[in-house]
Structure formats: C-alpha cells, structure tokens
Amino acid sequence: MPAIPLPFVVALLLAALLVRMLLDDGWRFRPVTIFVAACIVLMVTVGLRWTVDFAWVRFLQPVVASLLPPIAWLCFSGMRQATSRGRIWLHFLSPVVMVVLSAMWRQWHPPLDLLIAILYFGYGAALIRNGCGGPDQLENVRLSDVGRARQAVLTAGGLLFFSGLVDLAIFADFDIYRGTHAASIVAVANMLTLPAIAYAIAIIGRSVPESRREASQEDESSSRQTDNVASQEDNAIMEKVDAAMKARKLYRDPDLTLERIARRLGVPARQISAAINRIHGRNVSQIVNEYRVSEAKRLLLKTDLPVTSVMFESGFQTKSNFNREFARVAGTTPSRYRRSVVIDG
C-alpha cells in the first residue's frame, strides 16, 4: 500500500480544522478561515512539488507561500483598531511581485526562496513586536481572552520567523548543494510549523466577537497633555467607567472588549486604558473582572444559584478564568467563599 506524503497528511488535518471552523461560524469566510485554506493549498502544492513536479506547481508554490504572512497579519489586525481598507492592498503587493518573478523563473532564476524568507522575517518580527505590547492594545479581543490571544500572536509571529529561517536554509541548499536536501527541509518544516500557525490564528479568530464594528480613530495629539490635566481627565474617565459598569452592568457581556467600552462611553479606547492604568495600576481586563467578581460574590451570598450559573451571570465564560480571577480578587475560590459566608452567618 503506497504511503501518503507528509504534506498531504498535514493538508488533510488542516482541512478537518477548516471544516469545523466553518461549521462553528455558520460557513462565513473570515481572514482566519482564508488563512487556514491558504495553508491547505500550500501543503498540497508542496506535496505535488516534490512528487510530480509539474511546471504549474513550481509556479504556484512561491505565490501561495507569499500570501500567508499578509493574511496572518490581517487576522491579527482585527484584534486592534480596524485596518484601513484603503491600505489592505499594500499587504498583497509582495504576492503580486512573486507572481511576476515566479513566471520569469526559467529566464532569470530570481532568488525566490530568499525573498520569501525576507517576507516571513518581516511579518514574523512585526507580529512578535505587537504581541509584546500590553494587553490593552488588543482593543477588539474579548477581555477574558486577551492573555490567550497575545500568546497566539506571539506563537504565529515566532513560527513565521522560523519559516523564514527554513526558506533561508532552502536557498542555501540550492546554492551550495543544488537542492539535494530541499525536499526534506520543506516537508519536515511545513509539517511542524503550518499546523501550529493555523491553530494560533484560529485562537485569534475565536477571540474577536462576531458583532465587532470598526473602531473610531483616535487623535494621537490628545494624549500629549500635562500631568495635571491628564490626572483630571483620568478621574473623569474612571467615573464614567464606574457608572457604566454599575448602572448598565457592562461587565455581564461575555463578549465585552475595550473597543465596546469605548463606544459606549464615547471615549477613545487608549484614553480609557491609560486612565485605568494610571489610577489603579492594572489593565482594563483586570478591572472589568473585578466588577464581575463583585457581582459573583453578591450572587453567591444572596442566591442559591449553582456556581456555574453564577459564573455565567457575572460575565465569565470559562471556569478556569472565573476561578483564577475570583481567587485574585477575593483570595479564595467561589465555593469556599460561599461556604465561609454560610458558616460566618
């Protein structure tokens, strides 16, 4: 029985992930699904390249490979303020250039692998740089998912950077050994990196609520203020945040993001983040979770709802996050808190 080449096996696994994502999202195509689909196409072309080696496959492989970094970047951009639609096309200039260079390969032999490596290095470094920013930089991510989303961004950036190293190794192999080891390098590297990148991007996609709207653009000059004025504005912003949390119970929204808070208050997201950080020394996610924990404590004390119901009613989505944040704020678990209140009463 003939063995299936590794790239085709990886493509099948990614196809299963894509189908599940499409079923969960109601068959809506978003950047995350497009990225996974591009990974599948690349793995199929890699498999064909090193098995049948058709001319059209040689042409297609570098083009598809050059599409992955821009798509990964656009997936990440949905976690921050909305990307200007007028500038999205700039990210796809490199694939267009790759189409031209790949078509000219027989006449000129341009260093395609070196150019792809540079592209992966650039986008990988950009993702790592943005992933290292503070949690409040991810304005469109659910506050409960910020930590996991940042990990996903760093993972995707690191793996893109690693893919750049792989393409650099392929370039060196063709230059020194005439491509003797290229097939093995490509098969093993793509088998290891693409599924991990797809999983990281899938986490990013899950962390952005479906009903997200474009964030309003902030005037950067507004942040250049004196310490005295900033302090007054910080207090005014915190009063608005506190009023909205208590009166409108915004914290009960499981899909709450910094951008949504900003739209409700009519205050730029970065100003809210800065005010909370300067006054409380914590990020927006922690402050919102403190409101949620306060509501959970009230429900545990005043009602007989199961702990799981209390978790959902107070705005938490996962038990692990609920227990962790409850312990951070209250110093104990929800169950122990309820028992201690009963005993003390």
pLDDT tens, position by position, 104-163: 887 887 888 888 889 989 998 888 887 776 666 666 667 766 777 777 777 778 878 888
**What tokens does 91 get?**
């990210």
Mean pLDDT, residues 326-333: 91
Whether pLDDT at 241 is above 60: yes
Q: What is the pLDDT of residue 135?
A: 62
DSSP-derived letter for residue 210 is T
Per-residue pLDDT, averaged over 321-337, amounts to 91
Q: How far apart are CA 98 and CA 116, in angstroms?
A: 9
CA distances for 27 relative to 22, 23, 24, angstroms: 4, 6, 8
> pLDDT category, 8, cuts 50, 70, 90?
confident
Structure confidence at residue 136 (pLDDT): 60
**Helix/strand/coil percent split, the chain, to 5:** 75, 0, 25
Q: What is the pLDDT confidence band of residue 296, given thresholds at 50, 70 and 90?
A: very high
Asked whether residue 315 carries a pLDDT value surpassing 70, the answer given is: yes
pLDDT for the residue numbered 314: 93
Mean pLDDT, all residues of the chain: 77
Q: Identify the pLDDT of residue 218.
A: 36
pLDDT of 20 higher than 60: yes
213 pLDDT more than 70: no
Name the burial class of residue 67, with classes exposed (0-12), middle (13-18) and buried (19+) by CB atoms within 10 angstroms of its CB: buried
Average pLDDT estimate for 235-240: 89
Lowest mean pLDDT among 36-50, 265-279, 285-299: 36-50
User: Residue 112, Cβ neighbours under 10 Å: how many?
Assistant: 22
- DSSP structural state of residue 314: T
DSSP code, position 80: S
Cα(134)–Cα(130) distance, rounded to whole angstroms?
Answer: 9
User: Distance between CA 103 and CA 188 in Å, rounded?
Assistant: 27
What is the arithmetic mean of pLDDT over 33-55?
79
Pick the more confident residue, 77 or 49.
Answer: 49
Question: Is 309 a residue whose pLDDT tops 90?
Answer: yes
Distance, in Å, from the CA atom of 54 to the CA atom of 58, rounded to the nearest integer, reads 7
| pLDDT score recorded for residue 61 | 82
CA gap 285, 273 in Å, rounded: 10
Q: 170 versus 307: which is more confidently predicted? A: 307
What pLDDT is recorded for position 35? Answer: 74
The distance of Cα 313 from the centroid of its chain, to the nearest Å, equals 27
- Give residue 221's pLDDT: 37
